[in-house]
Amino acid sequence: KNEVEQSPQNLTAQEGEFITINCSYSVGISALHWLQQHPGGGIVSLFMLSSGKKKHGRLIATINIQEKHSSLHITASHPRDSAVYICAVRESGGGADGLTFGKGTHLIIQP
Amino acid sequence: GAGVSQSPRYKVAKRGQDVALRCDPISGHVSLFWYQQALGQGPEFLTYFQNEAQLDKSGLPSDRFFAERPEGSVSTLKIQRTQQEDSAVYLCASSLGGPVGNSPLHFGNGTRLTVT
């Protein structure tokens, strides 16, 4: 089973700071998801990527397949970015589900 | 509807009681997943449906857990004789394609189950 590790587990920053959240995994994957979970449980899919880099607004996700590592960056962070960010991977040739989740990074952006 | 809908939003059950959790996926989505998320943890896979077929139930923790999707749309996760360790948020997700397609997942808001 893939081991998905996220760092940091908790991050508190000031509004405007550049944020980086890291995800590493142990087994080759076909896709990696970055998810955002707000208090109350709702999860929103931010990115799904299998190579390179994707950008959406102030969010940037990168993945390095060789190093089995992905990063999620937030530029010009804002208090509304406060949430838990979860990395999830789908293994190459995985079964019907194949999704393994990290434990999440709890981000707090202070005004 | 516009998104994945789960009900009830909150459920409190006495130990030993049976519960049923409902998931309405996005219309037309083939794949449906159930996950269990304990406090402070990432979601853990429970089971997967492709249309009405339950293709993977390897994550169900015991035979007290049962899921169905009889018509390939709405799904119900049933937990019999609930135990305190069943307390968690149960998340449902759907995606347009089958497992090979790696389609984006759309999550519901979850059902928070508390067993007292």
The partner residues of A100 in beta bridges, in order of sequence, read A89
Tell me the per-residue pLDDT of A8-36, one tens digit each, with 9 for 90 and over.
999 999 999 999 999 999 988 888 999 99
pLDDT of residue B63: 95
Q: What is the pLDDT of residue B100?
A: 46
Alpha helices (H) in chain A, listed in sequence order: none
Q: Which residue of B has its CA nearest to A47?
A: B104
Chain A residues close to B93, C-beta within 8 Å? 43
What DSSP designation does B105 have?
Answer: P
- As a whole number of angstroms, the distance between CA B10 and CA B112 comes to 5
Read off the pLDDT of residues B50-103 as tens digits, 9 standing for 90 and up: 999 998 898 899 999 999 999 999 999 999 999 999 999 999 999 887 654 467
- Model confidence at B7, pLDDT cuts 50, 70, 90, reads very high
Residue of chain B nearest A85, judged by CA positions: B42
Mean of per-residue pLDDT scores for chain A:
90
Radius of gyration of chain A (CA): 13
Name the pairing type of β-strands B75-79 and B65-68: antiparallel
Quote the percentage of chain A above a pLDDT of 90.
71
Residue B98: predicted pLDDT: 61
**What CA–CA distance (Å, rounded) separates B28 from B106?**
13
Q: How far is A96 from chain B (nearest CA, A)?
A: 6
